[in-house]
Structure formats: C-alpha cells, structure tokens
Structure 1
Amino acid sequence: MGQGFSLGKLRGRSPFLAIVLAVIFLPTPPAPAQTISQRGMVTAAQPAAAKVGRDILKAGGNAVDAAVATAFMISVVEPYAAGIGGGGFALVYHASSQTIHALDFRERAPLQATPTMYLNEKGEVMPRASLDGVLAAGTPGTVAGLAALHQRYGQLPWSQVVAPAIQAAQQGFAVTPRYQQWATMRQAVLQQDTTAARIFLRDSQVPPLGTIIQQSELAKTLGAIARDPRSFYQGWIATAIADFMAQQGGKITPEDLRTYTPVWREPICGTYRGFQVCSMPPPSSGGVALVQMLNLWQLLPPARTLKERGHYLASVMQIAYADRARYLGDSDFVPVPVAALTHPRYAQQRVVEILPRRVRPQAAVSAATPLQLAESDNTSHLNVVDAQGNAVSLTFTINGPFGAGVVVPQTGILLNNEMDDFAIAPNQPNLFGVVGIQSDNAPLANGIEPGKRPLSSMSPTIVLKDNRLNMVLGSPGGSRIITTVLQLFLNVVDLGQDAATAVARPRIHQQWVPDTLFVEPTIPRAWIQAWQQWGYRVEQTRPWGNASLIRVLDQGQLEGAADPRGEGAAIGW
C-alpha cells in the first residue's frame, strides 16, 4: 500500500478557508416546489439567467443555445461565482445519436508559470499569492469554450445567444443577500483594485440590498464577443488583458491568449443499478471520483440505518479523495490511471478497508500503489434539456469569490484565481483544504507547469437509462462538488426522492484531508453522536453547495429543482 500521510505535515487550515466555510454556507430553507414542464427546462443559480435560457428555447434554440445564453447571463448577474474571466467544463447529450460529449475549457497556467512561482527564497509559500491579484490568474477559457459548444451544436445565431447578457450588463442587476455575503468576505481585496472597487463596491463599502450594479465596460466587451468570439483571444480584448498583466506583474501574455484552445474529451462513465452515470475526465477529478465511489458503494452491504448509510458514504468518499490527492491532474501532462481507478476490480480491492461502524483514521487510508492499480472543488452550475431530448450540464467558475479580485481596465473582465487549484507545494492545502501528495521523487500530478490545466472538482453529470436521458445534475462548492453530486444521484435512485427533495436533503462530506466528517446543521444529533462513537471527528457547518437537477419522468415530462441553499431557479415551458 502507499505510504500513510500525517496531518502534522500540513500547515493549519487557512483563515481564508475558515471564512469561506463560515460565510458561504447559508441555512437550508424548505425544499422548493416541484417544477414540471413538457417541452424544455433550464436550471441556473440565478432566476434571471434561467429565464434567459428558457426564452432561448422558446425562440427555437436547442439545449446548447440555451446553455450558452444562460452562461453568459450568469457572467453578468453572478460575478462573484463565474464569468468570462474564468473557465469550466460541459457535458452534452446528443439525443439523435444517443451520445455524450465532454468539453474542457478549463483555465491554463501561463506559459511563463513555474513550479516555484508562489514560493519565496526560503522555499516557503508566499501567503495569498495564488489567491489575490494578477499573479493568481490562469488563461481564461470560458469564451472559447462557449464558442466551441455553439459552433458544434448551436442552431440560433451566435449574436442572438449573447445579446441578453449585453442588455443585462448595460441595465444592471440588483444586489442580493448572496452578493453581499461574498462581497463582505472579499471587500478588502476588491478595495485594492480601483476598477473592481468602482464596479462592485460603493464608496469602498459593500452595496446595500437592491443597489443596481451596472457593468457598461463588460457590455462593450460582450458586444465585441457577440461579433467575433476570437476578439477575446486575438483582438483588442486580448491586448487589454496582456497589457494589464505586463503592467501589474502578471504572467498571461498575448501568446497565452492566442494559443488557448478548449479540448473535446471522452467522458468518464460508470454503471449503477442499470443507470449509466457520466461526468468529466481529467483535469476534472469529478468523473473518476464519482465512478470510483459508486463502484465501492454497490459492493457494500445494505445499511440498516440512515446513520450507518452516512458512515458508508463517508468511507467511500475518504478512499476516493485519497486517490485524488495522489494520482489526479491534467492528463495531457501526467499519466493518470483512469482505467485502473474506475475499474470494478479496484473497488473490490479497496472495499475491504471499509469497516462496519468504525472509521479508519486518515493516516491509515492512502492511495493504492501504482502496481496494484495496474492489476485491474466559487462556481456556478446550469442544466438544460430541450424538447428534442438534448441536454447540457455545464459548470464554470472564477474559483474563489470574485476570483482574483482584479478587473482588467476598460473591459469589465473579472479575472480568476484558478492558479490556487494547483498543488503549489507538496501537502500544501489550497482554498478548499485539498492537498496534492508526492510519492518518492515523482513530480506532483497537480503541480504547476506552463500551459497545464489545474485539477478541478467541477462535475457536470449526465445520467442515462437504456441510452436515453434520465438526469442532468451538478453543483458548485469546491471540493464538495463531487460528494454533493453523488448524494443527489443516490437520493433519487436509492431513496426514490423527487428532484426537489433530493436537492434539499442534508449533506455530509469527507475528503481524506482534513480528517474530518463535515455535516450540515439539519443532520440529526443522534447520528452525529453515533459517528463520534465510531471514531469520527465531526464538524457541523452551515449548509453548502448550490446544486440543481433535471429528471426525465416516465411519461416524458421534465422535473426540475434548484437548491434552496442558493438563489437559483428551475424554469420550464
């Protein structure tokens, strides 16, 4: 087996992570009402964005047209979570061919990036260098990704699907409680950037509820993109980004932008109780971890109680996240043993480690050795299903709230801080507490390299039954995305819950490091006490995630739900 890993090697959990956990997780409201439709459905993290997607469907657009329009709208009305200054992943189900395709438009490390760029002369990590300011930004991929989706599958004119976002940027949107919470957390960083402070704050303070946030410069940028998306990478927008980087000491150059391309990849798929579950391949860890956890789950004995079910869930999470830390990265740069990790024989090898009513300490759960394998993670999510049965599951991000906290002047582009998703040093936790571990003298699988894409937890997921669409789901939430998607799926398939109940149900999370079982506040106290007796260190936090789900019912109707933890909506027609 691989070597155990000691928590003593970690620095303490970052204050930034503690603030994230304290601020992001809003109390869970009651489950939303069911949304049922006949001809199409859109779920998104903001109602205005879901409405735009619905309107595109009504105008004759397909699921991809609606997803692209919704994503551009999210870039305007949810600036703290996702935007054209970031990147993401998308899964597309093509109904006529009954096939699923995966698009990777993840940000890339600048070509001038180095493995030690966030270390000082003593080899110590420089605080916040990978989180705040231009040095934290990777080359954005969102515009290229949305353009690639539309070029392959779109029906409506490109300019038509971008137009609603342009209008929204000009007219503005009203500040919500969620906006205030994120802006409060990042206020000090936003204050340091003149352009960001002017747009997102008022007199350097968090705006009152209902304040209208107008983004005229972003509207101009979106107008240029509507005419030609290549302008982001080779036109005046690219020049503005590169010039700003050069002035501020960043690393993104004209060559980074000119050479950026999204990548079509094969999705990772597994089977569970007759369902085919497909999600993203590396550089997402979502597909591998999700299939690995389902493989383990179906080998376990039936849980006799719900608290025992929670123990088994935490156990499969722990194993998958241990493997994530060691093996997963950008498969264009490092060998990732995808086939081995997702093979049922590997699950049979690991499931014997799961003990009934007893937790295995973190140091005792490590990644299996390569020889044994050879034998056999702030974000926004949207879902769309159209009348023809085509579907899109899309997750995109600028990473932390308000990304790097800097806006490129004259463009309105809020830059990502995606470089923090790399393992900037062995055993060094990122924003979400996730680490990369190193074996012997092998390079870090998720270490920084020029042009490399950082490992992600984003897990847009599509589920088929008999090759026909059954579910479309996903969530933001950093490293908790994967376990949220797992629980949503199992809530529907194992517990027989409808979409709204499945999305609202309380969640747990275990990610190997830290050696803690995180639980939402509505988890019964008796369960927590039982888990503690079985050896768990349990930490109760506020609710997390902002998931959404669309189900295709037996009669062909669409059932959708958006997470009551957020401000989103499911809108059909």
Structure 2
Amino acid sequence: MPIRLTLCTIVLTIAVTAHAKTPVATGTGGAVATISEQASQSAMTILNQGGNAIDAAVAAAATLSVTDPFSCGIGGGGFMVVYLAKEKRVITIDHRETAPAAYMPTVFTANGKELDFDTVVASGLSVGVPGTVRGWHEALQRYGTMSFGQVLAPAIKVAQGGFVVNDNFSRLVEENTAKFRQFPATAALYLRNGKAIKPGTLLRNPDLAQTYRMLGKGGVRAFYEGPIARAIVDAVNRPPVGTGASVRGGSMTLADLANYEARLRQPVRSSYRGYDLYGMGLPGSGGIAVAEALNILEGFDLGKLPRAQAEHLYLEASRLAFADRNAYLADPEYVEAPVAGLLSKEYAAKRRALIDQQKAAAAPVAAGDPYPFQSDASVPLRPSNARLQRESAHTTHLAVSDKQGNIVAYTFTIESWGGSGIVVPGHGFLLNNELTDFDFTGPHPNVVEGGKRPRSSMAPTIVLRDGKPAFTVGSPGGATIITTVLQTIVNHVDFGMPMDEAIAAPRLSQRNAAETDVEPGFAGSAQATALAGHGQRWSGKPEEIGAANAIVFNPDGTVTAVSETRRHGVGSALVQKKPH
C-alpha cells in the first residue's frame, strides 16, 4: 500500500516530537502507550504515515528492543491480542519461544537434583527458539498495511543514531553486571571498563540497526535461515564467554529455527459486570487466571463494600485462581488442560464459597476440581499441589489503537532482566532465558519437552462493552502480570477509578503464598493496616510491581492513552490530533 505523507502529517510528527514526555494523553485519533518515549514516537510516526495499529505496534516493539533491551527483543517471544474493527473480532498471535527438539524433561536436572536456577538463566541451556520476528511477520502479513522495511525504519534510526541512557537503564545494567561480564559481546555493548554504562551516555547499537536492515530486506527468512540463524545457534550451543568464564551450552539446531511457527489461537473470552474480556489463551495462563478470579469476584458487590474488605476479597480470589493456574495450565499441544471448567461461572461459585469474607486463608490453598464442569466424559488425572515455580518479572507491554478503531495489546519478553545475558555477536540483540519458565522437575504439566512452549503469565487484555471497545490493559512482571491486570480491572470497573489512578494505585500481588508481595512504602500504611485486620500478611522484600500500559475508549469518541506515572522511570502516552 502506498504511503501518503501530507503537509499536515509532517507538521503533526514535528508537533508530537516536541512534546515533553507524558504518561497520560487524550485525543481523537490513534493512540499509543509504552514505557519508552522513543517507542511511542515510533508508533506515532507510523500512524501519521498512514499505517494501522498493527504496523505501529511492530514499530514500537522494534524500538523497545533498542531502548529497553533487557525486557524484550527479537531474541525472545510474546503474545499479541488484536481487535479488528472492521470485522468486529479479536484474534491472538502466539509467538512464544519453544524448547529445542532435543530437549527432554530431565534437561534441568543433574544426578537427580534440579540445577541452580540462576546458573541456568545465564547459559545457552535456558534459551528457547525465538518467536518474536515470526510473530511480527504474521501480524504484518495478515493484518498490517506496511512492509517490514517500513515499520522497522524508526527503530533503525534510534539504534543507529543512539539514545540517551537514563537512570533506570543504568541501574538495570548495574544489577546485571556480573552476568553481562561473562559475555564479551554483551560487555562491549552495555559496560564501560567493566562497569555499568552511566546515565547521560549516548548509546548506539549499529549491529542491531544492521540486523533490522537485513530483516527489512530479506523478511522473516533472514532471521530463521542464513547468517543470523547460524549466529544464534552458535551463541546458544557454544556461548561466547570471556577468559575464565564457563557456562552451559544448549542443544539448538538450524532446523529448530527453520521449523519455528507462530500460532493463531482463539482468545480466552469471559465476562465481568457487563464487560466482555478477551485475553490470551494457553500457553498463556494470564487470560485464564484473570477470568477465573473475576468470575469469583463477580459474586461480591465490591463497590459497596468497605475498601479493605473488597481488597481482601481480591487477594483471596487471586489466591484461588493461582492454585488452579499452577496445577493445570501448560502448552495445549502437550497437555489437555480443563480450560472450560476453569472458566465456568458455576465452578467460580464453588471456589467462591471457600472464601472467608473476613479472614485470609492459610496458604497454600489446594487446587480445585474443574473437571465436573467440563462436560467431559474422560477421567483425567488429578494433580497434586505444586509449589509456585520461580518466574522472572521482567517483560514489557504496549498498547496501540488507530483512527479506524483497530487495537493491539502486546506483551513480549526475553524473560529475566537481560535474558540469558548472551548478545549474539555481530547482531546486537540479547537471547532469552525463557525455558526457565518450565518446571525443572515433574511430574507436572509444565515440564520441558522438545518443541513445547513454556507456560507464560503474560496477559494482554482487550475489553469490550455492548460490542464496542472499552479499554485495553497489560503489564510486565512475570507471575505478577496476572495480579496487576486483575487489580487494574477491579480498580477501574469496581472502584470507579479513572485508568491513570487505577494503574498508579499501590499493587498487591497474591499468588497462593503465605505472604502477599507489595511495593515499597506500602507496609505500615493505613491501607496495609486495614488489610492486616483481615489476616493479610506482606512479603519482607517490597519491590516495584509491573509497568502497565492501557488505552481507554471514552463515550464521547475520544481515546485516552495511559502509562505509568512513576514506575519504571515513567511511561510515554501519545494520541494523534485531528489534522486542521
């Protein structure tokens, strides 16, 4: 499709660029919310050039891979949820990483014991076959209007010209210095004299710019075949370490890359207080867990209860949903998970009856039995209680809409901060450590197997009301993604908070543990004291939870893009203005 760039759009682009970074914006055209100013600008550039939300989402994602490389990138994978306005339907694109074909369920054990988690993270053993580029290709080919070369152009400009490192970026490097030092290509990019790159430094990544040019010219095959594919396989199997360093290699082949496929899957659909929610299905556990928790909460009139009691019920519903999530959910191509039962309103009523409205349950609570609600004549095995698998909390989420009404909610990741720590030499991108999302030992639905996709908590969500878009929301944060999305929906729908307040509110993440994770400054607050009266307890290591992005579709026809007002260095929200 030809691109028409009018004088109006040129002026619009210049005007948008001149604006100071803001986490909330309202207007009448396309909208974008990301954690990066450059990424939001890239999406806006594509929208102003006539691209649609899908084109703009890929442009933003490609730029995030430059400016936020420790959260995401073409060395990882993700879930994209898309609302197609003309067809009034929601589709999802699963481009989650897969385990190499040679992997067996014992790959993360030695002498009958689990390998050390952190040692596995910083190794080729943890690297899944990357799916991001294949996902972008499927999105653009099926639903976009622009080519790879067009949508990658803004990211190439940022990678080649550079961007100024901020405090948050420098802090993340500092926290991962020991991991990055092991790999010369990584150290050369992000360390200076063995120390974290300082705030204020102009950081260029010409290798990534060149990789993007190769993709722009050769398309998806340029990544999964040829020089880039060989470089990935070499880096995974024989990690390029410095003198004295020793890390485990993986068993990835060129065939693993060439055979990788994205999956178009039906969304998880549920309802809550008159809203229709669409989320990502398996191997994503987020959409199912959020829906189950909301089904449980629907039996309580949260808006009329004292706030502490309503938040207590939110925590208990989350606890029950996580017990089921941990027990049953995994890659649907390998495991027959009882999804229909878990999404049943009748099953939710059974789980709801277990909640003491005044007192927290002793953790962990047992998984329920959704099979009678499946209308399934088979007699499947019932799982035993599983401990909460360790899951890294470092991902990114973006939201984009266009003037035609198309919407993209997109969460993608390389797992831990900096993934495996391995930058592919000569190509400028970090490889994931996504396979650490598998359970290291079994029996369990989520053990590693060749070709299998690890269970994910990513929960990009699009919400409709009366058949029309109402809002979209998503977040990074590992397993806390589920609770961040759930709590934001409760804040917005039940407590009537505007979306910016719903996102900014203190986050509480209960994942079927004795203690609830909270953020710095929460313990000792009036809110915490009130909840403690219900028997709720707080973790001893408060950390920032998530970095959400959302778009609200207002009744008057305007749209409001919303990002973080304080977390992760403050986000960036932009909305097009109508040309004069």
Check whether TM > 0.5.
Answer: yes
2:229 paired with 1:238: yes
The amino acid of 2:296's aligned partner reads L
Task: Indicate if the aligned counterparts of 2:46 and 2:55 stay in contact, CA closer than 8 A.
Answer: yes
Task: Indicate if the aligned counterparts of 1:462 and 1:471 stay in contact, CA closer than 8 A.
Answer: yes
Aligned positions of 1:165-564 closer than 5 A:
165-227=155-217, 228-248=219-239, 249-302=249-302, 304-363=305-364, 365-369=365-369, 371-374=371-374, 378-426=394-442, 443-512=443-512, 514-521=513-520, 523=522, 525-539=525-539, 541-564=542-565
The amino acid of 1:463's aligned partner reads V
**Counterpart Cα distance in 2 of 1:389 and 1:41:** 10
The amino acid of 2:137's aligned partner reads A
- 1:14 is matched with none
1:66 to 26, 33, 56: 56
- 1:543 Cα shift? 3.0
**Counterpart Cα distance in 1 of 2:525 and 2:227:** 57
- 1:473 Cα shift? 1.1
**Counterpart Cα distance in 1 of 2:143 and 2:65:** 21
**Counterpart Cα distance in 1 of 2:539 and 2:264:** 39
**Counterpart Cα distance in 2 of 1:479 and 1:261:** 25
Task: Indicate if the aligned counterparts of 1:359 and 1:535 stay in contact, CA closer than 8 A.
Answer: yes
Q: Check 1:301–1:476 CA distance in 2 against 1; reply closer, same or farther (3 A cut).
A: same
- 2:18 is matched with none
Count of aligned pairs: 525
1:93 to 83, 104, 114: 83
Give the match's secondary structure for 2:560: strand
The amino acid of 1:571's aligned partner reads L
Task: Indicate if the aligned counterparts of 1:245 and 1:253 stay in contact, CA closer than 8 A.
Answer: no
**Counterpart Cα distance in 1 of 2:363 and 2:428:** 44
The amino acid of 1:520's aligned partner reads E
- 1:8 is matched with none
Which deviates more from structure 2 when the two are superposed, residues 283-292 or residues 156-165?
156-165
Q: Check 1:383–1:371 CA distance in 2 against 1; reply closer, same or farther (3 A cut).
A: closer
Q: Deviations over 1:513-547 (max 9, x none)?
A: x3211223454623323433433322261331110
Q: Check 1:129–1:117 CA distance in 2 against 1; reply closer, same or farther (3 A cut).
A: farther
Give the match's secondary structure for 2:113: coil
Task: Indicate if the aligned counterparts of 2:208 and 2:428 stay in contact, CA closer than 8 A.
Answer: yes
RMSD of aligned residue pairs (Cα, Å) = 1.7
**Counterpart Cα distance in 1 of 2:421 and 2:427:** 14
Task: Indicate if the aligned counterparts of 1:483 and 1:509 stay in contact, CA closer than 8 A.
Answer: yes
The amino acid of 1:187's aligned partner reads T
- 1:379 Cα shift? 0.6
Task: Indicate if the aligned counterparts of 2:124 and 2:238 stay in contact, CA closer than 8 A.
Answer: no
Q: Check 1:286–1:127 CA distance in 2 against 1; reply closer, same or farther (3 A cut).
A: closer
Q: Check 1:283–1:223 CA distance in 2 against 1; reply closer, same or farther (3 A cut).
A: same
Which deviates more from structure 2 when the two are superposed, residues 489-498 or residues 75-84?
489-498
**Counterpart Cα distance in 1 of 2:135 and 2:116:** 32
Task: Indicate if the aligned counterparts of 1:141 and 1:262 stay in contact, CA closer than 8 A.
Answer: yes
Q: Check 1:546–1:412 CA distance in 2 against 1; reply closer, same or farther (3 A cut).
A: same
**Counterpart Cα distance in 1 of 2:130 and 2:363:** 35
Task: Indicate if the aligned counterparts of 1:129 and 1:136 stay in contact, CA closer than 8 A.
Answer: no
Give the match's secondary structure for 1:488: helix
List runs of 5+ in structure 1 lacking aligned partners. Answer: 1-30, 427-442
**Counterpart Cα distance in 2 of 1:270 and 1:500:** 24
Give the share of equivalent positions with the same residue, in percent.
Answer: 37
The amino acid of 2:53's aligned partner reads A
Q: Deviations over 1:354-405 (max 9, x none)?
A: 0021111114x21113544546961111100100000000000000001000
Q: Deviations over 1:97-151 (max 9, x none)?
A: 1100011000001111121112112434334243112111100000000111000
- 1:245 Cα shift? 2.9
Aligned positions of 1:113-152 closer than 5 A:
113-152=103-142
**Counterpart Cα distance in 2 of 1:179 and 1:353:** 44
- 1:162 is matched with 152
**Counterpart Cα distance in 1 of 2:375 and 2:361:** 24
1:46 to 36, 44, 49: 36
- 1:570 is matched with 573
Give the match's secondary structure for 1:102: strand
Task: Indicate if the aligned counterparts of 2:285 and 2:329 stay in contact, CA closer than 8 A.
Answer: yes
Give the match's secondary structure for 2:445: coil
Give the match's secondary structure for 2:419: coil
Task: Indicate if the aligned counterparts of 1:125 and 1:425 stay in contact, CA closer than 8 A.
Answer: no
**Counterpart Cα distance in 2 of 1:93 and 1:76:** 27
Task: Indicate if the aligned counterparts of 2:459 and 2:474 stay in contact, CA closer than 8 A.
Answer: yes
Give the match's secondary structure for 1:383: strand
**Counterpart Cα distance in 1 of 2:251 and 2:194:** 28
Give the match's secondary structure for 1:478: coil
The amino acid of 1:254's aligned partner reads L
**Counterpart Cα distance in 1 of 2:174 and 2:158:** 23
The amino acid of 1:196's aligned partner reads T
Task: Indicate if the aligned counterparts of 2:341 and 2:370 stay in contact, CA closer than 8 A.
Answer: no
Task: Indicate if the aligned counterparts of 2:235 and 2:422 stay in contact, CA closer than 8 A.
Answer: no
Q: Check 1:411–1:521 CA distance in 2 against 1; reply closer, same or farther (3 A cut).
A: closer
The amino acid of 1:319's aligned partner reads L
Which deviates more from structure 2 when the two are superposed, residues 241-250 or residues 168-177?
241-250
Which deviates more from structure 2 when the two are superposed, residues 521-530 or residues 470-479?
521-530
Task: Indicate if the aligned counterparts of 1:45 and 1:382 stay in contact, CA closer than 8 A.
Answer: yes
Task: Indicate if the aligned counterparts of 1:120 and 1:126 stay in contact, CA closer than 8 A.
Answer: no
Task: Indicate if the aligned counterparts of 2:25 and 2:573 stay in contact, CA closer than 8 A.
Answer: yes
